[in-house]
Chain A
Amino acid sequence: MASLSKLTDSSLGVVPTWWRRLSLFLQQLFGRPVSATGTTITLLFLLLAIIGPLIAPYDANEIIPADARQAPSAEHWFGTDNLGRDVFSRVLLGAREILVLAGFGTLLAVVVGTFFGLITGYRGGWFDEITMRTFDSLLALPALLLALLLLGTVGNSRYSVLIVIVVVYTPIVARVVRSVVLAVKPQGFVEAASLGGETRSRILLREILPSVLPTLSVESAMRFSYAIFLVASLGFLGVGVQPPSPNWGLMVKEARAYANLIPWALFFPALAISVVVIGVNLMADGLKRIMSADEVN
């Protein structure tokens, strides 16, 4: 149950710099071809999300009537959709749309979930009971159903989708964090800190949080991939983000009616969703292997 930092401390016998830890971590991550592929895909899409607007040949919503429904060509790499929008540019710019929404949502869910996980796990008692039973009741509902219910209540917009991701994933993160806290809490170093008169917040942040981080990083990566899928699914169902947003799910929904005529308008956004979700999943899997290998060591 030791954390990454404590393990490397003991196994190498010296206090490594952050750089040595990072390089070891990267060596392990890129050592396995599968994890390396996943990480590369994820980083590539993140890069596209950042520089997409610089390299996209057209604006995502630019309608070129004369070019409507054209097959992939040198001018339009992924062809054009029913309204004459460049599918390549839309997929490219959709990366930012979807990754920012999913990434920011996941980040918020992880922060809020960690907060509740730490407090409930460490304090226990009535606060733990009330919070966790509330979260259990949220978890009882399938994520997509919960998302649809929430969107029906707060209305359709980008911010509603963000709220949905936070509400859907906070309980899951909180549960995972809480379970680690419960395992770490009885250990000697925590008791020592407690006896040494450390304040509660200091114990949580300095002693317990580092032990939670490895599990949390795996969980975050998993949540991120699910969040991407959720954002795309909501787009496909026509709730949340509104047209003409280049949300990949929304693009698939719009192109579905024309699947026989212009299959490329359906294929490329669907491919983008699959590739990025698989990529993030493979990366998460790689992280998990590294963490559990550390634990075994």
Chain B
Amino acid sequence: MITNFQLTIKNHNLLFLIPIFLLVFLMHACAPEPTQTQEPAGEQERRGELRVALQPIVQTDPAFISSDPEIMIASSVYDYLVDITPQNTIAPRLAREWTVSEDGKVYVFSLIENATFHDGTLFTADDVVWTFDRLRDPDVDSPTKDLYSNIESIEATDQFEVTFKLKESNPFFLYDLSDNHALMLKANTPEPINDFMGTGPFKLVSYSPEDRLVVEANENYFLRDRPSLEKIDFIFFNDQTAQVEALRSGQVDLVMLISADLFNTLQGEPGLIPLEAATNSFDLVRLRADRSPGDDPRLMQALRLATDRQAIFDLVLQGYGALGKDTPIGPMYSQYFSKDLQTPERDIEAAKQLLSEAGYPEGIDLVLHTPDTGNRPNLAVVLKDQWAEAGINVEVKVEPESVYYGDDGWLAVDLGITGWGSRPYPQFYLDTMLVCGANWNESHFCDDEFDRLASLAGTTLNEDERVEAYNQIQALLVERGPTMIPYFFSQLGAISDKFTNFQMKPFPGRSDLSTVRLADQ
């Protein structure tokens, strides 16, 4: 109702409604949901130009974006139905509120009623239906088509109401809706790749590929107190070191996704605020479990026993992150993470013993594949050094990331390191990485008990049951899983102290730039 009044005022300027507006305003001041601030608080002055250093973007169609910079730019121009907060909870965005049926299969969303696209068109339920139909269309072949395969139907049940019906109950459905790709497009957009036509807080001004993309504040944004900034320049740099130097010399105001070493060089730099966000991003060391030599789980156990996690954590991460326990369910998921679970201490003799039991009394030669990005080459080199003591001789093969992931080498090799990004809920990793036959099951792991527990955790509406299932999954993976996860790394960045109110999210590309404002404002 609140938004109906707003529309009326805005469109027809009916002055006699002012007393009612005042009443609504008072009601709203007492409302429990501050994120739903809808009052037309008068046009506040928008000031300041934020210059963000990003790696160049390639993809601009929201259905196919994948890198942090692509997602950051797209989510400035478009909006999600529901968003993720820096604390990993669900927050309303274009969906004002929602109800869930008792069996967990029907979700009804009420939409914001005064949101408009940058061309002035009103945002309605039809746009939601069109966008999600596109995201799950096998012909479009977006990476989300599997994620949304559980949706039976999407209907516009009113101009501002959408109903999703699911085939199976899915306790994480709201998280699925907040997926990086699920940005709302205008219905029947002919070429989403060239469009940049969203409801988002910023409008496109200019884009010159490989150089920069400039956006300005959307004066008609449905959240009237946002954005605070007048303009954002996304400036593209290929090189992380160059980004940091540009920040140091005042040519840009914000950098993200930088290495611990570069981050350390920024400590104590006047005029800069360091940013650190705990995440569930990790580097995975995995051994193919479906063929020799990895089909003997004792080999993976020997690798784990030969590893000194604390030394890796200190050397490679320099303390920015958390120790891992070999399962993708990290400490960030505090309600699901098994705190009491013990990973083995380094024990070279025990590792040698296991190796000889597995048939390698003289040690074993392996090739360790790793992409050339992040801390992965360093991790490989440290593992090589640590494992050598136990007679595990590793030849490191560093490959360009685009080649390693591009031609599916990462799914084929026996022993490899893979970087996995942070997700707001753990089920994603189980379903895509460890369930038998999953698309990205790079270790080719197949375990009936695991599959049963993963399916239970992913469908039950009983939270206690889910916690118990996740606990059992973690114990199972430590006992006979094909993976070793030595650490979860923090995301690091820095922002100029001329700006305030920026909160970096665990997935830095999802950080909300509409809240950022000049520090003196």
Contact = CB atoms under 8 A, between A and B. Distances in A.
B261 A65 contact: no
Say what secondary structure dominates the interface of chain B. helix
Given A63-B315, A259-B241, A83 B382 contact: yes
Given A257-B262, A261-B261, A261-B265, A65 B381 contact: no
Interface stretch (B64-72, B89-97, B394-402): B394-402
A250 B137 CA distance: 46
A82 B261 CA distance: 9
A242 B261 contact: no
Interface string B251-270: 00000000101101100000
Interface residues of B, number: 26
Contact of B241 (A65, A84, A256): A256
Contacts of A31: none
B380 interface: yes
A83 B396 contact: no
Nearest to A259: B241
Contacts of A267: none
B205 interface: no
Interface of B: 240-241, 259, 261-262, 264-265, 311, 314-316, 372, 377-378, 380-382, 384-386, 395-400
A238 B372 contact: yes
Nearest to B381: A244
A254 B316 CA distance: 13
Nearest to A84: B315
Nearest to A244: B381
A69 to B, nearest CB: 9
Nearest to B264: A261
B181 to A, nearest CB: 31
Interface string A60-84: 0111010010000000000000111
B261 A244 contact: no
Residue from B262, B265, B385, B386 having most chain A Cβ neighbours under 10 A: B385
A65 B262 contact: no
Contact of A257 (B261, B382, B397): B261
A112 to B, nearest CB: 29
Interface of A: 61-63, 65, 68, 82-84, 156, 238, 242-244, 254, 256-261
B395 A61 contact: no
Nearest to A238: B372
B315 A156 contact: no
Given A256-B241, A259-B241, A63 B382 contact: yes
A242 B384 contact: no
A242 B398 CA distance: 7
A61 B399 CA distance: 20
A62 B382 CA distance: 9
9 contacts: A61-B384, A65-B315, A156-B399, A242-B398, A243-B381, A243-B396, A257-B240, A260-B262, A260-B265
A166 B444 CA distance: 41
Contacts of B241: 256-257, 259
Contacts of B261: 82, 257-258, 261
Contact of A61 (B259, B314, B381, B398): B381
Nearest to A256: B241
Contact of B378 (A62, A65, A83, A260): A83
Contacts of A82: 261, 315, 378
A254 to B, nearest CB: 8
A45 B241 CA distance: 33
A257 B374 CA distance: 11
Contacts of B372: 238
Nearest to A59: B385
Contacts of A258: 261
Contact of B385 (A62, A257, A260, A261): A62
Contact of B381 (A83, A238, A256, A257): A83
Contacts of A65: 311, 314-315
A254 B259 CA distance: 13
Contact of B377 (A62, A156, A243, A259): A243
B259 A257 contact: yes
Contacts of A238: 372, 398, 400
Contacts of A156: 397-399
B314 to A, nearest CB: 6
Contacts of B377: 243, 254
A242 B395 CA distance: 8
A129 B384 CA distance: 51
B265 A244 contact: no
Given A61-B385, A63-B315, A63-B382, A243 B398 contact: yes
